[in-house]
A and B are shown apart, each in its own frame.
Chain A
């Protein structure tokens, strides 16, 4: 999920007002519960790049009695860049090859057991889907949580369907791969 632009997400979080690095990380993890949590170091370097490119600026520093913290804000150019990105269409189906497919083909080439691999992969997928469903169906789950879980569930489900049809057609695939 890191393919998703961290720059733009931080810019988006800054759109609500000036904020410092630790606060941005906390808000990111709250807002996108199913995504991989941001490392603080990554937030820090991304903010510095935004300042370098003129999309964000340092607002000031405060200490609140603790360690000194730098507060950042989005510049006008940053706001423009954000709205450009938000309206931009994400390229559909960016990858044609994926890891699961690659492993199946490799298993066939190396004389392994692709069916057993697919079956185990399927079980792992189902396990993850059960976890996500439990998060989503928990009482009092907010809509953002439900929707982000749904997003992941639908992708896992798509993988599963692909695995089922592939498992049913392994014989043909093996013949094809071996012939080539």
Chain B
């Protein structure tokens, strides 16, 4: 216990003594953890309900187990972009932190101590977010629900503890190579092949998928005899398969884009961007994978929404009133929008981080007279180039899902949904562009003075 306390103090001192970027990491990690806790808590609270209730929110969507399980799956799926976001946050100051921890190893810390300190650093940030989110959720819950069941409380407690613990484990896992070779890590400046964090992300996606399946299996037993049970499950399967491939795909597209463009580049900006992609295609793979998924789901959803509301408004013999259906659609739409917003934040954080990591090199380029606009263009192209084929592909996938759904319901295919990927692409570029003001601040001659 004594050693844990001293590790805790060391972790705290290291965080406190580190520069502003570390604080950004803590703040953003806490935010991500809070989001994850919030979504998970809502899902747990809903899952604790058995049978039919009269829930005063969401136009009766939460009353029946069938639709409730749909909402739960939606909430759990929202965890996917959150995980992507957290993965991106973990990269902030990663090189710097890896060096610091490797320095601890060189100073005589045992591998376990280093792991524990790293785990504590991440775990504390997650604890902060999870505690805040739990407190808020419990308050909301007590207002909406007179007497939550014991099961709900157990679930809430589990989630509140699990988020920081999982965060700590992920923090320790991400360090395995630092721990293995302290010397190599101190010397190497650009360590990532990106697969490790990519695998973590995939593991997270799988975990969410399994949870979602379990939820569907346990809460919707009453509805399982309905003929509509098949398509949503199948659709989710499609989404997951595409998701698993998304990380790999976006990495591979980045690599291919770089390899094809680098020899043909005519301008300095394209050349720099293409060579960076070829050299490290995995750095942005996770966020780009999330963009891919969200674009896919978003495009598909827009089509389904179009078709469904068409059905709702044209048919006059519905089981429930129209607001029941439109609320469902709006909720899903909101979920997709939230997912997209989180993904865009991840993208912006990633661009800012890539800029911060390279600020010494960028300062040297600027000192040599490379104009700021060229550096800015290279930065944007790094996002724009690999994202183009990825978004195109996922847009096509989403349109296919949408068209298939429309044909299934004998409705005209709403071709306007093809605009969704275009809008998503534009939004991504805007998100990446938010770090351009940082470029001017990063490119300071002061950076030239230190190794």
Physical contact A–B (CB less than 8 Å)? no
